[in-house]
Chains A and B, each alone.
Chain A
């Protein structure tokens, strides 16, 4: 595996360095440098109800603010970075979503180095920004809680596209640090994505290909895969590997009879970690389970954008179903489904008010931690960290999202 990683990395770098005409283009012509800040943000009001309670809690939520910095150094070189500011537990959290340098080798090939959004499906790389996502939350398994699949990582990538008859064929291949296997009791078997430092000498390789077979580019079908060892070096888990797959389909078309735009987005992710034995919660306890996670969502929206009524043409009706199987056999595993319905009002092309109702079905919740009851008897109860999200039953939100 290691020799393939080295060869692939060298190959990606050689593609750039072997082109004689590229070196001089790295030096941008004076006056070509352009810096701009774009981004997005969202905020709103949430009403939520948890499992077993009738009362609704409500709160204004700060949402988040994501500035995107773009430095275009020449017609072939650009640096891009996105920060994320958000309030978590009454404290400001700052995260670096991505920061990378992209260089256009030729008409059909771009190489990127740094931390970048991985082309693993389309939600994390293209649909997650608040003003693009039709709901205020990500589908189950596609957000930061219980993720099934990576969203960003550190490494090198080549990507590009070429015309295919009337449509298009896109391709991307990358080498990154890859996810790390958690072996601590209580969380053993979980993968941690996007680590700054690799936990082993093995790199993960992956990529995505997609086809847009129609000349109007309204349909895209993509397949993604990633493979790499995830155990820490010199540990008992050093040979444990993870295989990740994704299938995504998007479709967008004008429906002339309805004077509307139909937008369908869907994705299926699967993460499979080699079967092994982990330390359990209790002293001396060992647990073995099938470490496979799956997440799926399908979303459809309809916007009557071509009718004359100025109010109705800016409305958008949207529905989403998502399901998560987050390693159900693990002590921390869970299985949930979600149905979401919403009506969005577009103030302009990049500003939207979302009225959303989300309901969750908690099919299975293992997330158990050891504690003693009043009589000193050990029992298991949901862990505090994820209890809030795991027991959510219903949410109604009014969110404003803006791109800028």
Chain B
């Protein structure tokens, strides 16, 4: 347990530092104001590289975006904007 205390404290310190860094350098934009391309880039990149719109068909995007709404905890509005962007860019 003793060894874990410094790691935990370091962990929390890192979190606080990142939070402060981010808060002082980011311009606030609400989800309502964001475009589909913006939401696509921000949300996909939280876990993996953002897939190009051409990677899947429109029908596949319907299923995949629903799947990712559940997995990544997105709101319905965000998923709708992302889906519209992907389909519009898919030719």
Q: Could you tell me which A residues sit within 8 Å of B by CB distance? A: 34-36, 38, 68, 70-72, 75, 78, 80, 102, 104, 106-108, 110, 112, 125-127, 131-132, 159-163, 165-166, 168, 170, 172, 210, 213-221, 247, 249-253, 261, 264, 266, 268, 292, 294, 296, 298, 323, 325, 346, 349-350, 403
Q: Could you tell me which B residues sit within 8 Å of A by CB distance? A: 1, 3-4, 7-8, 11, 14-15, 18-19, 22-23, 26-32, 42-43, 45-52, 55-56, 59-60, 62-64, 66-67, 69-77
Cβ of B73 and Cβ of A170 under 8 Å apart? Answer: yes
Identify 17 residue pairs between A and B in the complex whose beta-carbon atoms are under 8 Å apart, listed by A's number: A38-B64, A78-B67, A106-B76, A110-B69, A161-B75, A163-B30, A163-B31, A165-B28, A213-B22, A215-B27, A216-B29, A217-B42, A218-B42, A219-B19, A251-B18, A252-B46, A349-B52
* Residues of B close to A108: CB separation below 8 A: 75-76
Closest to A163 in B: B31
Closest to B59 in A: A34
* Residues of B close to A325: CB separation below 8 A: 3-4
* Residues of A close to B14: CB separation below 8 A: 249, 264, 266, 298
Cβ of A107 and Cβ of B75 under 8 Å apart? Answer: yes
Given contacts A78-B63, A247-B11, 6 further A-B contacts (CB under 8 A): A34-B62, A70-B67, A78-B67, A168-B73, A210-B73, A219-B18
Cβ of B51 and Cβ of A350 under 8 Å apart? Answer: yes
Q: In the assembled complex, how far is the CB of residue A258 from the closest CB belonging to chain B, in whole angstroms?
A: 15
* Residues of B close to A166: CB separation below 8 A: 26, 28-30
Per the bound structure, the CA–CA distance linking A253 and B41 in Å amounts to 12
Per the bound structure, the CA–CA distance linking A172 and B55 in Å amounts to 30
Which 9 residue pairs are nearest across A and B when measured between Cβ atoms? A166-B28, A72-B63, A349-B49, A170-B73, A107-B76, A214-B22, A161-B73, A70-B63, A163-B31
Identify B7's interface contact among A75, A126, A249, A323, CB under 8 A.
Answer: A323
* Residues of A close to B70: CB separation below 8 A: 78, 80, 102, 110, 112, 159
Closest to A106 in B: B76
Best-buried of B18, B19, B45, B55 by chain A (most CB within 10 Å): B18
Cβ of B11 and Cβ of A214 under 8 Å apart? Answer: no
Q: In the assembled complex, how far is the CB of residue A362 from the closest CB belonging to chain B, in whole angstroms?
A: 15
Q: In the assembled complex, how far is the CB of residue B73 from the closest CB belonging to chain A, in whole angstroms?
A: 4
Identify B32's interface contact among A68, A163, A216, A298, CB under 8 A.
Answer: A163
Q: In the assembled complex, how far is the CB of residue B80 from the closest CB belonging to chain A, in whole angstroms?
A: 10
Cβ of A215 and Cβ of B28 under 8 Å apart? Answer: yes
* Residues of A close to B8: CB separation below 8 A: 247, 268, 296
* Residues of A close to B30: CB separation below 8 A: 163, 165-166, 215
Closest to A102 in B: B70
Q: In the assembled complex, how far is the CB of residue B23 from the closest CB belonging to chain A, in whole angstroms?
A: 7
Per the bound structure, the CA–CA distance linking A70 and B59 in Å amounts to 12
- Contact (A162, B75) CB under 8 Å given A110-B70, A296-B4, A349-B49: yes
Cβ of A126 and Cβ of B71 under 8 Å apart? Answer: yes
Per the bound structure, the CA–CA distance linking A387 and B69 in Å amounts to 41
Q: In the assembled complex, how far is the CB of residue A241 from the closest CB belonging to chain B, in whole angstroms?
A: 20
Per the bound structure, the CA–CA distance linking A110 and B74 in Å amounts to 10
Cβ of A34 and Cβ of B63 under 8 Å apart? Answer: yes
* Residues of B close to A161: CB separation below 8 A: 73-75
* Residues of A close to B42: CB separation below 8 A: 216-218
Identify A217's interface contact among B19, B46, B55, B77, CB under 8 A.
Answer: B46
Closest to A348 in B: B49
Per the bound structure, the CA–CA distance linking A33 and B80 in Å amounts to 18
Q: In the assembled complex, how far is the CB of residue A216 from the closest CB belonging to chain B, in whole angstroms?
A: 6
Cβ of B67 and Cβ of A80 under 8 Å apart? Answer: yes
* Residues of B close to A165: CB separation below 8 A: 28, 30
* Residues of B close to A252: CB separation below 8 A: 45-46
Cβ of B47 and Cβ of A126 under 8 Å apart? Answer: yes
Closest to A263 in B: B45
